[in-house]
Structure 1
Amino acid sequence: MEKSWMLADRRSKEYEEGVEEFLRIALANVIDHGRICYPCQKSRDIDEDIFGVEKMIYVLKEDVISFIQMNEIGQAVITAYIRYLNNLVKDQEWEPKISFMDPSRTFHDPNSPDEAGRVQYIVKALNQTSIDNIFLIPYNPGGHWILTIIDEERDNVYIMDPLGARYPHDIWKRIGAPKQADGKTCGYCVMRYMKEICEDSSLAFRTKYASRRKKVFYTQMELDKVRDEWAHHVLEWI
């Protein structure tokens, strides 16, 4: 499927027809109750896999529509993009390595506040990898996505928040990355943060954004780039 429509003017006929075609292909693969089945393969070695456990992602029809319309996105959309990024970093032999944590395991659900379970998951993931790994953790504390980065070797936790919020914890170091321009694109900004970190062999995320303070927001083209990558990757699996 041709995906250049994603970069077209959203008022154009090309964009409208592209949306219709994407939805037609995606929804043709709905398997149950409006869900698209998307596999994360199992591996014994967490460094060579995504989350170290067998996992099946279900991308809902509503997820696809929200993504196409660039509305708020949920765990499944971000997890699918993590799979794309994991394939990218697996082909690289950088040290330290980049690892990911499952957004669904760190997500704050007010209807199921299992704080102990989240802590246990994070501790187990850290214990299963080398201390010099960098962990990228998309985290949603409730209605908003941020990126948490754990650098265990340096004993630091970094926060990249599309709202630019400050955090009171001394150990949490805020990185002044580009912000979201509205109230619904935080997830896309977090996807862009992860992309830029994974593509930078120097892993200079701690300092690289200091020289970009004049860049307040991501451009639509920069956000559309991760959306295009997501669409290409997901369509390969459906």
Structure 2
Amino acid sequence: MLDKASKEIPTTSETKSQIMMRLEKMVEESDIMHGAIRSVDIDEGVFRIAHSEIIAKEDMQQLFEHEELGIAVIHTYIWYMYDTLMRGTELCNRFNFIAASRINTTFITKNPTSVKNELVDRFMVAGDNTTPSLYFLPFNSGNGGHWVLIAMDLSRLMVYYLDSLSGDWSKYPSMKKTVDAAILKFRSKKNYRNRKDITWVRVQYFDEYKSYSRAHLDEMKDELCQFIIDQRII
């Protein structure tokens, strides 16, 4: 049974790290391989609201194979970054994360008003939005599972757009319209003056980070694997 299970969750590297092999063995020996799931309560500080994540076999496959990343893997890595870099520091006042579960192309197409209001509610959670801070939103374009990153500065009316593929936000007009509407509605509720239009900026890569080597990707996967082990998610 374990031999069969191990074949069902291949990894991309022929040489696996000790951390990854340990987590892979934990998954193979768990009931996740037979359809069980884990409901994980993510630290409330991560998204500033209570948030639970469902971890299933396919999520572990995504982590090991690194061919496609779903929401659960994205959110768990955000949790790892918060826990490692931000917890108890000033960075918590400068950077905010928005859960991608309800903010994507599918939901915007079905009910853009609901998505707009969800963003506004998230903006309202923070106390002081007059000081510069960034709200990071991983956005699934629905184009084969492609992710882009949107960073919103509510005080300066700036939105930064990062896409690993060529092009800009014009590929997703409904997304831009919804984000703009949410920012303006939030500022209206706060009685902030809108002194200018919202400016969108396409973020350029640093030359050394235009692409990641296999070693860099494996290092990030190892960090996440260790975090999953430490949090006893499996």
TM-score (norm 1): 0.69
Q: Tell me, in whole angstroms, the C-alpha distance in 2 between the residues paired with 1:123 and 1:69.
A: 36
> Which one of the candidate residues 75, 81, 86 is aligned to 2:71?
75
State yes or no: 1:173 paired with 2:197: no
Deviation at 1:171, TM superposition (A): 2.4
Q: Tell me, in whole angstroms, the C-alpha distance in 1 between the residues paired with 2:70 and 2:153.
A: 25
TM-score (norm 2): 0.70
Deviation at 1:112, TM superposition (A): 7.5
| Residue matched to 1:35 | 37
Q: 1:112 to 1:233 in 2, by over 3 A?
A: farther
| Residue matched to 2:86 | 89
| Residue matched to 2:14 | 11
| Residue matched to 2:47 | 51
> Which one of the candidate residues 131, 145, 160 is aligned to 1:158?
160
CA contact (8 A) 1:30 1:37 kept: no
CA contact (8 A) 1:23 1:65 kept: no
> Which one of the candidate residues 221, 226, 230 is aligned to 2:220?
226
Q: 1:37 to 1:31 in 2, by over 3 A?
A: farther
| Residue matched to 1:64 | 60
Deviation at 1:89, TM superposition (A): 1.1
Q: Tell me, in whole angstroms, the C-alpha distance in 1 between the residues paired with 2:65 and 2:92.
A: 38
State yes or no: 1:103 paired with 2:131: no
Q: 1:217 to 1:91 in 2, by over 3 A?
A: same
Percent of matched pairs sharing the same residue: 21
Deviation at 1:102, TM superposition (A): 0.4
* Letter of the structure 1 residue corresponding to residue 228 of structure 2: V
Q: Which has the higher helix share?
A: 2
CA RMSD of aligned residues (A): 3.0
* Letter of the structure 2 residue corresponding to residue 216 of structure 1: K
Query: Tell me, what secondary structure is at the counterpart of 1:53?
Result: coil
CA-to-aligned-CA distance 1:5-43 (integer Å, 9 cap, x gap): xxx99224xx2987554223135263983323322144x
Q: Tell me, in whole angstroms, the C-alpha distance in 2 between the residues paired with 1:83 and 1:95.
A: 13
CA contact (8 A) 1:66 1:73 kept: yes
Q: Tell me, in whole angstroms, the C-alpha distance in 2 between the residues paired with 1:39 and 1:230.
A: 17
Query: Tell me, what secondary structure is at the counterpart of 1:22?
Result: helix
Number of aligned residues: 189
Q: Tell me, in whole angstroms, the C-alpha distance in 2 between the residues paired with 1:233 and 1:119.
A: 33
CA contact (8 A) 2:43 2:79 kept: no
Equivalence map 1:19-30=2 (5 Å):
21-27=22-28, 28=30, 30=32
* Letter of the structure 2 residue corresponding to residue 119 of structure 1: K
Question: Which of these two proteins has the greater Rg computed from alpha carbons?
Answer: 2
Unaligned runs of 5+ in 1: 1-7, 43-48, 178-208
Q: Tell me, in whole angstroms, the C-alpha distance in 1 between the residues paired with 2:90 and 2:123.
A: 20
CA-to-aligned-CA distance 1:113-165 (integer Å, 9 cap, x gap): 23222211111111221213211111102121011000112110001101132
Query: Tell me, what secondary structure is at the counterpart of 1:73?
Result: coil
Unaligned runs of 5+ in 2: 1-10, 171-175, 177-197
CA contact (8 A) 1:63 1:74 kept: yes
CA contact (8 A) 2:158 2:200 kept: yes
Q: Tell me, in whole angstroms, the C-alpha distance in 2 between the residues paired with 1:9 and 1:127.
A: 42
CA-to-aligned-CA distance 1:34-59 (integer Å, 9 cap, x gap): 323322144xxxxxx12233222111
Q: 1:95 to 1:39 in 2, by over 3 A?
A: closer
Q: Tell me, in whole angstroms, the C-alpha distance in 2 between the residues paired with 1:128 and 1:17.
A: 41
